[in-house]
Chains A and B, each alone.
Chain A
């Protein structure tokens, strides 16, 4: 079945550092890929998405590119802020739908001043 693998956390960075959170997937067909973020005390929020190969999703300074050849969707940000501290989840859905998502285990990001 479909699966998503994320790097283990926590990831600890200083403010303004470069962030990469790795995500690879296994899926049949052509999945859509997502990054969700959960800030402390809040629910999951869609951060960005990509629906086909070579698409780049971006939002709030975060980017991720759908790489079919390496089955990856790594999350990057050039300069993190303390307010980016949260848990980040990589996810996929089959086809172009959003409904049944397969999630990774989540990666906690801690940014210190």
Chain B
């Protein structure tokens, strides 16, 4: 089966610009998660979708971040406007059930200059 796919793999943008990250989960996986790793720090949870609904968005840093999962398939994470501290690697993961092991994508490396 195809794994979790993230696009783009790298993105370099200027402060103040907008960036949209995309995640395609494994087909049939209702649960989709976003995590972020800022350089030198821990990987931190951002939010969790069950199908198209936000189950838990307690990790979203602020209202410059908007995640959507229309139709319960792929998800997008938009950062608008981007700030320097948003730089890092954004990971997406999916699972068929909430207590199943997570399958992670390769991540999107975002650099804000």
Interface residues of chain A, those whose CB is within 8 Å of chain B, are 4, 36, 41-46, 49, 89, 91, 96-106
CB distance from B92 to the nearest CB of A (A): 9
Cβ of A89: which chain B residues have Cβ within 8 Å of it?
A: 43
**A100 lies within 8 A of B45 (CB):** yes
A44 to chain B, nearest CB (A): 4
Which of B14-22, B61-69, B73-81, B94-102 lies at the interface? B94-102
Are B3 and A98 in contact, with the CB atoms below 8 A? no
Q: Known contacts A97-B98, A99-B31; is A43 also within 8 Å of B40 by CB?
A: no
Q: 1/0 per position for B83-104, CB-CB distance to A under 8 A?
A: 0000000010101001111101
Q: Which residues of B contact A (CB under 8 A)?
A: 3-4, 31, 33, 35, 37, 40-45, 48, 56, 59, 91, 93, 95, 98-102, 104-107
A-B contact pairs, 16 of them (CB 8 A): A4-B42, A43-B3, A43-B91, A43-B104, A43-B106, A44-B91, A45-B104, A46-B102, A91-B43, A97-B98, A98-B99, A99-B31, A99-B95, A101-B45, A102-B42, A106-B42
